[in-house]
Amino acid sequence: MQKLIEKYTQLLNEQREVYQRNVFADFVLDGRIMGIIGPRGIGKTTFLLEYVKTHYGDSEKALYISADDPYFLENTLVDVAQNFVNNYGGELLLIDEIHRYKNWNQELKNIYDFLPKLKVIFSGSSSLNLIKGKHDLSRRAIIYYLHGFSFREFLEYKLQIKLKNYSLDQLIEDQIVVSRQLSKIPKFLGHWREYLNIGYYPFAFEFKVKDNIYQAVANIIEKTIYEDIASYYSLKTDNLIVFKKLLFFLATTSPGEVNVNKLANSLGKDNKTILEYLRILQDIGFIKFLLNNKRGHSLVRNLEKVYLDNSVLFFALNAYLGKEAEIGLAREIFVHNQLTNARYKVFYAKTGDINCGKYFFEIGGRSKKIKQIKDVKNGYLLLDNVITGSKNILPLYLLGFLY
C-alpha cells in the first residue's frame, strides 16, 4: 500500500499546470461512483490528477492508483479500498485505466455496497459499457465522456487566450460578427490548418515534429486494438488485424455509403462479423456512424456513412500508409466530430452532406457553389479556407467553437 501512495505522491508532484477545459467544470462529480471514459490520449489521467490536486491537495484522504499497476497481480481493488478507508481515513479513490482490471465491474459494486463513505472516480476506455456488465452498475455510476480538443480549446491552449463557445443557433445567427472577431487573431487560418492536421489530441503540444504526433497516434491505435479490444472483447490475435484493415479502408475511401458485403468479402469475414467489428470500433472511440433520420428498421438497416472519429486520426493513418490524405474527407470528419462532441444529433442528408436538427449542411472548399442547397430551407454551405461568410455561407472552422 505504501508503494501505491509513493507513486501517487510522485505523480502529483510532477503534475504541471493544467489547461482548464470548460468540460472539466461540466463534470458534476458529486456521486459515490463516477466514471470518466474516452479514447486513449484524450487526457483522462491528467483530469484525474488535476481534480485530486485541486480538491484535496496533499491530503492523505485521497489516493490515485492505476489499475494496470503490477501491484494488482497479487492484490485486489477491494483490498486497496478497504485498507485505504480503514487505515488512512480515505475519502476519495481515483482508479485510472480501470478497463485493464479483469473484474472491475464486480469489485466496484462491492466497494459501493460495503464502503459507503468512500467516493470513487474511475477512468477507462470508451468501450466500457456499464449496462453490458453482468454486475449492474448502471443505477449506481454516473458516466461522463471526455473528447479531444475543439478548435477553440486548441487556440486557447496554444495562444494562452480565452475564447467563447457558442450554440449552433448562435453561430449561425451571429456568424459574421463572430468570424470578424476571430479574424483579428494573427495567422488565424494557419492555426486552423494546424488544428485540422494535429490539434485534436492534447498531447500534440508535447511534440515539435508532426511525424512524432502521428507516431503517437499510431501507438494509440496499436495499444487500443491489441490490448483494450483484445482483452475487453476476448478476441484472438488473428482477428485483431481486421480492425486495422477497417481503419485503413475508412482512411483511404472517399465519403460515401459503406458496403458491408464488399468489405466482408475483401476481408474474408461474414457480414455479421464486420458489422460487429465496426460497432466495436465505434464503442472504442475510433469511428462514428452517420445514420438515416428514420425510425425502426429503416434507421439501422444501412450505415449511410462511417467516419473516422477525428481529423488527426485520419491524417495519421494516411501518413502511416504513405497516402495523400483527401482534404474533402477531413472536412466532413471535422464537421461530424465537432457536432457530435457538442451533443448534437446528426444524420445523413440526401440534400447536402449532413442534417442537424433544422439545418442542412453542404461541406466543401472555398470554390464550392451553393446550387445544391439553394432551395433548401435552413440550408448552409460550410466552406474551408474562408475567414468570414455571408447569409448562407459559414466558415467551416466555426463549428470548432461549439464546445
What span, in angstroms and rounded, lies between the C-alpha atoms of 67 and 177?
48
As given in the structure block, the three cell numbers for residue 310 are 477525428
Per the prediction, the chain carries an average pLDDT of 91
The reported pLDDT for the residue numbered 131 is 42
What span, in angstroms and rounded, lies between the C-alpha atoms of 126 and 280?
10
The CATH H-level (homologous superfamily) assignment of domain 2-145 is P-loop containing nucleotide triphosphate hydrolases (3.40.50.300)
The secondary structure of 9-75 as a DSSP string is HHHHHHPPP----HHHHH----SSEEEEE--TTSSHHHHHHHHHHHHHTT-TTEEEEETTSGGGGT-
The reported pLDDT for the residue numbered 138 is 65
Percentage of residues in the chain with pLDDT exceeding 70? 94
What span, in angstroms and rounded, lies between the C-alpha atoms of 327 and 330?
5
The reported pLDDT for the residue numbered 297 is 52
pLDDT digits (tens, 9 = 90+) for 44-74: 999 999 999 999 988 999 999 999 999 999 9
Contacts of 265 (CB under 8 A, 6+ apart): none
The reported pLDDT for the residue numbered 33 is 94
As given in the structure block, the three cell numbers for residue 14 are 510532477
Residue type, 58: D
Contacts of 395 (CB under 8 A, 6+ apart): 175, 179, 382, 383, 386, 387, 388, 389
- CA nearest to 35, candidates 135, 104, 81, 91: 104
pLDDT digits (tens, 9 = 90+) for 192-247: 999 999 999 999 999 999 999 999 999 999 999 998 898 888 888 889 999 999 99
Confidence of residue 275 (pLDDT cuts 50, 70, 90): very high
Q: Is the pLDDT of residue 327 over 90?
A: yes
Count CB-CB contacts under 10 A for residue 259: 12
Of residues 255 and 250, the one with the higher pLDDT is 250
What residue spans define the domains of the chain?
Answer: 2-145, 151-401
pLDDT digits (tens, 9 = 90+) for 291-312: 887 665 554 455 678 999 999 9
**Lowest-pLDDT choice from 126-130, 347-351, 368-372, 377-381:** 126-130
pLDDT digits (tens, 9 = 90+) for 124-152: 987 665 445 555 676 788 899 999 999 99
Count CB-CB contacts under 10 A for residue 88: 14
Asked if residue 287 lies in contact with residue 281, where contact means CB atoms within 8 angstroms, the answer is yes
**Lowest-pLDDT choice from 1-5, 94-98, 248-252:** 1-5
As given in the structure block, the three cell numbers for residue 132 are 453490458
- CA nearest to 246, candidates 232, 225, 228, 227: 225
**Lowest-pLDDT choice from 126-130, 140-144, 266-270, 335-339:** 126-130
Return phi, psi of residue 132, to 5°. -70, -25
The reported pLDDT for the residue numbered 93 is 98
The reported pLDDT for the residue numbered 218 is 97
Tell which phi-psi region holds residue 29, choosing left (phi > 0), alpha (psi between -120 and 50) or beta. Answer: beta
Of residues 155 and 371, the one with the higher pLDDT is 155
- CA nearest to 64, candidates 82, 51, 83, 79: 51
Of residues 360 and 134, the one with the higher pLDDT is 360
The reported pLDDT for the residue numbered 299 is 47
Of residues 102 and 188, the one with the higher pLDDT is 188
Crossing angle of helices 237-251 and 260-267, rounded to 10°: 130
pLDDT digits (tens, 9 = 90+) for 157-178: 999 999 999 999 999 999 999 9
The reported pLDDT for the residue numbered 200 is 98
The secondary element (H helix, E strand) that includes residue 292 is none
